[in-house]
A = this chain, B = another copy of it.
Amino acid sequence: MDAQTKRCSAEKRRAVTVETVVQLAAEQNPSTITTTAIAGRMGLTQGALFRHFPTKDAIIESVMEWVAARLLSRVEKAVKKAPSPLAALEAVFMAHIEFVAQHPGVPRILFGELQRAEDTASKRMVQKLIHRYGEQLHGLIEEGKKSRELDADLDTEASVILFIGTIQGLVMQSLLAGNVNRIRREAPRVFAIYQRGIRREK
């Protein structure tokens, strides 16, 4: 409910605001989240939000920064721990799924931003985030080819698209079922098929 009913520092308040938006996005369409709803969940009046953010879009931008930092950090960590490129791909996949399961609102926010017609700052941030993510995957797949774990003739670009799409598909399933935990069960099964599609034939 109210993360910090009393008054607290602006920095802390901004952080709580971002987390509140992420939380609300798990419960409703991100594009219908109002500043009143955000403030209400924080135990604050609506006007108070604008003491910390100049505009609503600025809040969304902060959310994007939060997402980018957290997601990329997890991905990086997963890559480092993995003993091989293919193992890294799997670790990244599972890390991403775990992140999404913990914050089901995040993929909705990203997808929603991409849908916006205007060329907003937050939309560009999503594009940049996914682009960077794709480059990481691209690198891993190319490494996998060299280490002969993956098929040398593999279409790297298509593999990246399928990787991201696979996660997107799992998210959609969880939306369909209205059950977030299903995604954790299904993820390994779906990744197994993906893996078969890219790994070197014996």
Contacts and interface: CB of A to CB of B under 8 A. Distances in A.
A1 interface: no
Contacts of A175: 111, 114-115
Given A166-B162, A169-B165, A115 B29 contact: yes
B168 A169 contact: yes
- Copies assembled: 2
Contact of A29 (B116, B167, B195): B116
B186 A193 contact: no
Contacts of A130: 176
A155 to B, nearest CB: 5
Interface in A107-149: 108, 111-112, 114-117, 127, 130-131
Interface string A150-190: 00001101110110111111101101100000000010011
A11 interface: no
B172 A168 contact: yes
A112 B29 contact: yes
A45 interface: no
Interface residues on A, range: 35 or more
A18 interface: no
A101 interface: no
A5 interface: no
Given A130-B176, A159-B193, 17 more contacts: A27-B117, A28-B117, A31-B32, A111-B111, A131-B176, A161-B173, A161-B186, A162-B190, A164-B172, A164-B173, A165-B169, A168-B169, A168-B172, A193-B194, A193-B197, A197-B197, A201-B201
